[in-house]
Structures are given as C-alpha cells and as structure tokens.
C-alpha cells in the first residue's frame, strides 16, 4: 500500500528539480461515538499508523501541479484561478483547503505536489481527512503561515463541506491532526476540549475487518442523517428550548417530543442520544481496565447503527455476525459513516489468529467477498515526516 517513500522523493526531484518538504498525516479509527460529532457530542478516535505522505515545493511561478502517485493522475492549474469543485474527486480535497487558506486571508504562490497513501480509500479510515490535514500542514510549512492544528482540522472539515459536498463533523480531521501515539482522544465536538486516554486494551487487540464494499449511497445518506437529527432538535426545542443540538437532549426530552416528529427522525435521535451516553461509559470502562464492557458497548453501538440509524449494510452485518459467534471476540461494530468500510473489533490476543481465519473464511463463504485485515497501531497526528521518523514511526 502506498509507494516507497524514497522513490517518491526521487521522482519529485527528477520532475521538479528540488528536494520536497514531506508531511505525514494519519488516518483514524474510532472506538466509540459514531455520528455524534455533528450532533455536538463526544467521540473517542485515535490516529493510526497508516498515513498519507505529501511532498511539496514552491514552483517559483503561479503554476501549480498536483500528482496522485497511487492513481497515476494529475491536475494542473494556476494558483490565482477562481476555484470550483472539479470532476476528479481527489483534487477537490486540495482545492477545498486552498480555498480555506484564501478565506483566512493567506495568499499562496504556485507549488508542485505529489502524494501517496497507505490508507485504503473508501474503508472508513478517513483517507480524505488525512489528505486535507496533511495538505493544510504542508501549505503552512511551505509558506511559513502559522496555523494551529485545531484550526487545520476545522479548515479540512470546511473543505470537505464545500468541495466534496459531505457535511461531515470534525472527528476525522481532529484525529488526524491531534492524534497521540498510544492514546485515544476523547473530544467534545462542541467546545473542541479534548482529553487523551491511554489506549490500553489489556489482553485484547483491536482488529479491523474491511468489508471491501463502499455503497454509493454513503455521501447522500450521510447528509440526510444530519438533517434528520436537525429536524429532531427542532421538534425537541418546541418543548425544551434550551436544547441546541442532540447532545443537549435526554431520552426523556425525546420521548416528550416523540409525537411531534416522524418515526424515522425519532429513531435517528434515539440512536444519537444513546451513543453520546455510550462514549462516557466506554471512557469509564477503559479507565477501570474493564475491556469486556468496552466490547459489550461496541456491540450495542452496532445494533443502534444497524436498526435505528440505518447506516450499516448487509456486508458489515455479516462481518459482525460471524465474529460475535467466535470465542475470544468480545465486541465490535461498523466504524465511520457507514454503508461499507471496516468493522472495528476487540479480540483476545491469543484468539486473534483463529478469529481472523474464521472471519476471512466465513465472509468469503457468506458474502462472496474477500475481507482485508488491518492490525493497526495507534500513532501521532499530522507532522513533518522527518519529525515522525524521529518519533519512531
């Protein structure tokens, strides 16, 4: 996965004649707190050891070239051009971030950029957030513009809203920017206050199973979920005016407003309110070293995402159904926006090989698809690649 980093550096020098600055930005996992971020709630993600690598240098003119090494595709434009979303999906993440720099009052010169990624696309590991955050960091370094990492995360989120059309929350970009080696980060998505918890899963290992599907409903259904939550808030507000978002609502508030909302809106809100409560429960269990409880709560989340939020799909449910029947598997759920991508699972260390073997066979037998396995480690957030090497990544 991804190209050899030295090879990309050499190709950069061959193409553009000067040494690039290299930035590394990781993907993320999320332990708990799915679809809570845009409801102003809590999430518990972590940056991982799969990352995007961005190579960049000034072009000396206004001419600007972006090259995706993995896709063997490129896009050339003039940095003073008016920017609009384009057909090449991957280009929009870059244009969106440039747009954000402009809106913040920073004028940029032309540059050449190449990138390669270890993060599988469409697997729910936030390859797009990593691109946005890595590119934001690359621009700030190249043009000596001081931008806080949390501001980079917000710019990435806005880029995604405006240029990719996905009204995402802040979780993915925040994790890619603020991740910390060996830690999960509990983030309050309203205030952006955050707290690191040691990612100590005791006798258990986190294993991801990739369903290897990405249903094209994902983006449109994501935006629909967001507006259903907003519709729920409007109904609750009529009864409880202090509620600004689902994060403020209790299940009692929801019950009182139930008759004033569509049944589907009720179920969406019920899931989101319950999930927000589960984040705190998982943090408490992690602190108590009670990993079995973490696993049990992850299974509750999967049921909520499947039945009430309806963002799972047949393939993800098959992966979870197979795994939960196996000894040593203590919990798991679909991860990320849904409609494909990975499940995240907690498996007893001695049982990991057996569980993987059985899930691979079972998934092929039932869904007819090969799964991919990611045994990810938790690493640091975005940074210059040389710094990352010094930190042992």
Catalytic annotation, residues:
172
How far apart are alpha carbons 75 and 13 in whole angstroms? 18
168 near ligand GAF (CB under 6 A): yes
Kindly tell me the burial class for residue 28, based on how many C-beta atoms sit within 10 Å of its own C-beta (0-12, 13-18, 19 or more): buried
DSSP secondary structure letters along 26-62 = EEEEESS--S-GGGT-EE-EEEEEEEEEEEEEE-SSS
Pairing relation of β-strands 63-68 and 111-117?
parallel
- Closest approach, Cβ 79 to ligand GAF, in A, equals 28
Q: From the list 23, 31, 35, 318, which residue makes contact with ligand GAF (rule: CB under 6 A)?
A: 35
How far apart are alpha carbons 236 and 256 in whole angstroms? 8
* Helix 263-287 and helix 291-307, axial crossing angle in degrees, nearest 10: 170
- Please report, for residues 21, 132, 292, 345, 385, the alpha-carbon distance to residue 9 in angstroms, rounded to integers and kept in the order given: 9, 20, 45, 36, 12
308 near ligand GAF (CB under 6 A): no
Q: From the list 169, 304, 331, 340, which residue makes contact with ligand GAF (rule: CB under 6 A)?
A: 169
When the beta carbons of 64 and 312 are compared against ligand GAF, the nearer one is 312
Q: From the list 336, 379, 381, 383, which residue makes contact with ligand GAF (rule: CB under 6 A)?
A: 336
Check the annotation: does 262 bind a ligand.
no
Check the annotation: does 266 bind a ligand.
no
305 near ligand GAF (CB under 6 A): no
Q: From the list 332, 337, 379, 383, which residue makes contact with ligand GAF (rule: CB under 6 A)?
A: 337
- Closest approach, Cβ 193 to ligand GAF, in A, equals 17
- Closest approach, Cβ 35 to ligand GAF, in A, equals 5
Check the annotation: does 312 bind a ligand.
no
The encoded tokens of residue 95 equal 């244009």
- Closest approach, Cβ 87 to ligand GAF, in A, equals 22
47 near ligand GAF (CB under 6 A): no
End-to-end CA distance of the chain: 16
Beta bridge partner(s), residue 55: 22, 114
What is the per-residue burial (b if ≥16 Cβ within 10 Å, else e) of 33-64? bbbbbbbbbbbbbbbbbbbbbbbbbbbeeeeb
Binding range to ligand GAF, per CB under 6 A, among 50-58, 144-152, 166-174, 206-214: 166-174
38 near ligand GAF (CB under 6 A): yes
Binding range to ligand GAF, per CB under 6 A, among 4-12, 31-39, 102-110, 135-143: 31-39
210 near ligand GAF (CB under 6 A): no
27 near ligand GAF (CB under 6 A): no
Say how many residues touch ligand GAF, by CB under 6 A: 10
34 near ligand GAF (CB under 6 A): yes
40 near ligand GAF (CB under 6 A): no
37 near ligand GAF (CB under 6 A): yes
Q: From the list 32, 95, 171, 294, which residue makes contact with ligand GAF (rule: CB under 6 A)?
A: 171
How far apart are alpha carbons 334 and 124 in whole angstroms? 9
How far apart are alpha carbons 355 and 5 in whole angstroms? 33
How far apart are alpha carbons 350 and 344 in whole angstroms? 18
253 near ligand GAF (CB under 6 A): no
132 near ligand GAF (CB under 6 A): no
- Closest approach, Cβ 282 to ligand GAF, in A, equals 14
The encoded tokens of residue 226 equal 């967001």
Greatest C-alpha distance within the chain: 67
Kindly tell me the burial class for residue 5, based on how many C-beta atoms sit within 10 Å of its own C-beta (0-12, 13-18, 19 or more): middle
How far apart are alpha carbons 331 and 310 in whole angstroms? 19
247 near ligand GAF (CB under 6 A): no
What number of residues does the chain have? 393
- Closest approach, Cβ 28 to ligand GAF, in A, equals 8
270 near ligand GAF (CB under 6 A): no
Check the annotation: does 37 bind a ligand.
yes
41 near ligand GAF (CB under 6 A): no
Binding site for substrate, by residue number, is 34-37, 222
Would you list which residues are annotated within the binding site for ATP? Answer: 68, 122-128
Interface residues with ligand GAF (CB under 6 A)?
34-35, 37-38, 168-169, 171-172, 336-337
């Amino acid at each position: 996965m991804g190209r050899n980093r030295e090879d990309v550096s050499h190709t950069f020098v061959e193409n553009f004649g000067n040494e690039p600055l290299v930035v590394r930005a990781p993907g993320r996992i999320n332990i708990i707190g799915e679809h809570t971020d845009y409801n102003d709630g809590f999430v518990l993600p972590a940056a991982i050891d799969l990352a995007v690598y961005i190579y960049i240098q000034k072009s000396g003119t206004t001419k600007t070239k972006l090259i995706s090494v993995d896709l063997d595709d490129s896009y050339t434009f003039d940095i003073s051009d008016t920017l609009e979303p384009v057909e090449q999906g991957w280009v929009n993440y870059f244009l969106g971030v440039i747009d954000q720099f402009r809106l913040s009052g920073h004028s940029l010169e032309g540059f050449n950029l190449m990138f390669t990624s270890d993060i599988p696309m469409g697997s729910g590991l936030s390859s797009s957030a990593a691109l946005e955050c890595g590119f934001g960091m690359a621009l700030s370094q190249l043009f000596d513009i001081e931008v806080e990492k949390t501001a980079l995360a917000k710019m990435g989120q806005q880029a995604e809203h405006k240029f990719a059309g996905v009204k995402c929350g802040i979780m993915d970009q925040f994790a890619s920017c603020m991740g910390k080696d060996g830690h999960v980060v509990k983030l309050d998505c309203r205030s952006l206050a955050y707290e690191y918890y040691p990612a100590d899963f005791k006798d258990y290992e986190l294993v991801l199973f990739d369903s290897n599907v990405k249903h094209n409903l994902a983006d449109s259904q994501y935006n629909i979920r967001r507006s259903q939550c907003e519709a729920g808030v409007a109904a609750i507000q009529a009864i409880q005016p202090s509620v600004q978002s689902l994060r403020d609502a209790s299940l009692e508030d929801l019950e009182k407003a139930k008759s004033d909302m569509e049944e589907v809106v009720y179920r969406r809100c019920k899931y989101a309110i319950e999930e927000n409560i589960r984040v705190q429960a998982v943090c408490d269990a992690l602190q108590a070293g009670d990993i079995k409880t973490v696993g049990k709560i992850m299974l509750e989340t999967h049921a909520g995402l499947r039945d009430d939020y309806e963002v799972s799909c047949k393939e993800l449910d098959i992966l979870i159904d197979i795994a939960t029947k196996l000894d040593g598997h203590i919990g798991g759920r679909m991860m990320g926006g849904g409609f494909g991508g990975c499940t995240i699972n907690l498996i007893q260390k001695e049982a990991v090989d057996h569980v993987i073997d059985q899930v691979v066979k079972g998934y092929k037998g039932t869904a007819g698809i090969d799964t991919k396995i990611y045994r990810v480690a938790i690493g640091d957030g975005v940074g210059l690649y040389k710094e990352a090497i010094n930190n042992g990544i």
